[in-house]
Amino acid sequence: MKHFFVSLLVLASIALNAQDNGGFVIDKIIGKVDNYIVLKSELDKAYQEYISNGGRPGEEARCQYLALLLRNKLMMAKAEIDSVIVPDQDVDAETGRRMNIILAQYGGSQQELEQKFNKTFEQFRLELRDQIREQMIINEMQRRITKDISITPAEVRRFFNRIPKDSLPFFSAEVEVAQIVRLAKVSNAQKEITKQKLAELRNRLLAGEDFGKLAREYSDDPSVTANNGDMGYVGRGMMVPEYEAMCFKLKPGEISMPVETAYGFHIIQLLDRRGNEYHSRHILISPVPSKDDLAAAQHFLDSLRNRILLDSITFQKAAREYSDDINTKGNGGFFTDREGALRVPVDELDPGVYFAIDTMKTGTISRPLVYRTDDGKDAVRILYYKNRIPPHLADLQKDWERIRAAALNEKQLKALEKWFDRARKDVYISIDPAYNYCGILDN
């Protein structure tokens, strides 16, 4: 089972590195795969995160981390050879989402973030974007390599029976909790306020004010600090449909009236068009819900809660039909752990959820609770506290989903190891001689 937990923690620590400091300190190269390098600080950081999460210290674990970091770099090198890419807009969207989460931890203050990490906001964002892009490419490569791998119940039982009884993992207290989320829907009145603000900005642009200056001052697009609202040349299908349609209607130099997309309202200036590519810049303003909009969301969930309590609809069905949270609605509103199981360790719960259920009895549904989503949106939710499982040793029946995920992960890891053995012949790999004892490149 240790391979399963090691691989999970490596990926978690890499993701955490991107959130914690936006990049690694350049110190010493200890591995190289074509043009991709592994730094000693990367290995030290990942290893320390593993130890701090309860991992067993030792050179075996350090070697496993180095092997996985090299495998990630090999995936990057092979992705380049095989032309595997992730769309820039997906990278930008994830970077924006992650930046919003990080900024929220510092009260939304860019200045506090800069002081904490001793780098400018833009340096932090660009380094984070590089980290996210690399991880998304690695995830796509792993998906391609393991997409056809499945596991049978018999294989799960064999996997569990191989674990010595005195080595069974001890699971902390777990809970089954579900939510139904209602985002505060922006009223037409709030939308009109936003459109009027953008129309005024458009008039200022037509009067000769600098586009980049106004974009930096007013745009809600997180990339504005780097590009002044300039989206560069993109091809068809790269932007949301409403934005793209307007770009093909405008003449070069023209500035649109406010255009609504899923992100809010834009004013768009077409700079150039060549065939199916176009060059544009924009200012985005996302309308903010009013107190009445938030109250409407609370009223909706209060009514829905009453329907559930009267047994006219189940919580799970209501979550699938009405919840605005895409991460939980498909599971009937239930939160899942890292392996996709519906029982979540209490220490993995969002603090807001943890403190809410701490005052609830199992089997009950909370009244509507106002909160803010990870990406900063005003929302309301109701929580269903279904069950609590006390701390216990791993049990095949009780922990089937978790053990199944561990068994599948082991099988996928073996497939990745076979892929590594084949793929490393296509690239140049070198490792610092100080790590020869790991035997990573041994045949």
Mean predicted confidence (pLDDT) in 233-261? 91
Structure tokens at 24: 């690694």
Residue indicated by tokens 């067993």: 56
Task: Indicate the pLDDT class of residue 236, thresholds 50, 70 and 90.
Answer: confident
- The stretch 69-75 carries a mean pLDDT of 91
Query: Lowest mean pLDDT: which of 104-113, 267-276, 317-326, 337-346?
Result: 104-113
Compute the CA torsion angle 3, 17, 77, 97 (nearest 10 deg). 110
pLDDT at 119: 80
- Both tokens of 137, joined, read 């490419």
How high is the pLDDT of residue 107?
65
Given a cut of 60, whether residue 243 has pLDDT beyond it is yes
Q: Counting Cβ atoms within 10 Å, is residue 350 exposed (0-12), middle (13-18) or buried (19+)? A: middle
The reported pLDDT for the residue numbered 309 is 96
pLDDT band at 127 (very low <50, low <70, confident <90, very high): confident
Question: What's the mean per-residue pLDDT of the chain?
Answer: 87
β-pair type (369-372, 378-389): antiparallel
Q: Which two tokens stand for residue 73?
A: 């770099």
pLDDT recorded at residue 18: 38
DSSP 326: T
Question: pLDDT at position 21, please?
Answer: 43
Question: Among 322, 238, 312, 320, which residue's Cα sits nearest to residue 280?
Answer: 238
Which pLDDT value is given to residue 12?
36
Could you read off the pLDDT of 138-170 as tens digits, one per residue?
999 999 999 999 999 999 999 999 999 888 988
Q: Please state, in angstroms and rounded to a whole number, the distance separating the CA atoms of residues 213 and 351.
A: 39
- In sequence order, the 6+-apart residues with CB closer than 8 A to the CB of 376 are 100, 104
Position with higher pLDDT, 383 vs 58: 383
Q: Which of the four pLDDT bands, split at 50, 70 and 90, describes residue 32? A: very high
Lowest mean pLDDT among 34-48, 110-124, 280-294: 110-124
What is the Cα 426 distance to its own chain's centre? 31
Between 31-45, 232-246, 256-270, the lowest mean confidence (pLDDT) is in: 232-246
Q: Is pLDDT of 125 > 90?
A: no
Beta partners for 354?
Answer: none
3-state secondary structure of 228: coil
- Lookup: tokens for 203: 């008039």
Q: Say how far residue 40 (Cα) sits from the centre of its chain.
A: 26
Phi (first) and psi of residue 171, to 5 degrees: -95, 135
Cβ(424)–Cβ(70) under 8 Å? no
Confidence check: pLDDT of 9 > 60: no
**Dihedral sign, CA of 139, 145, 147, 149?**
negative
Does the pLDDT of residue 20 top 50, yes or no?
no
Domains of the chain, earliest start first: 2-164+396-438 (1.10.4030.10), 170-185+290-392 (3.10.50.40), 188-285 (3.10.50.40)
pLDDT at 288: 86
Both tokens assigned to 309 = 């309590």
Q: Examine the pLDDT at 131 and tell me if it is beyond 50.
A: yes
Check residue 94 and give its pLDDT. 86
Residue-level length of the chain: 443
Distances (CA, A) of 121 to 30, 110, 112, 130: 29, 6, 10, 14
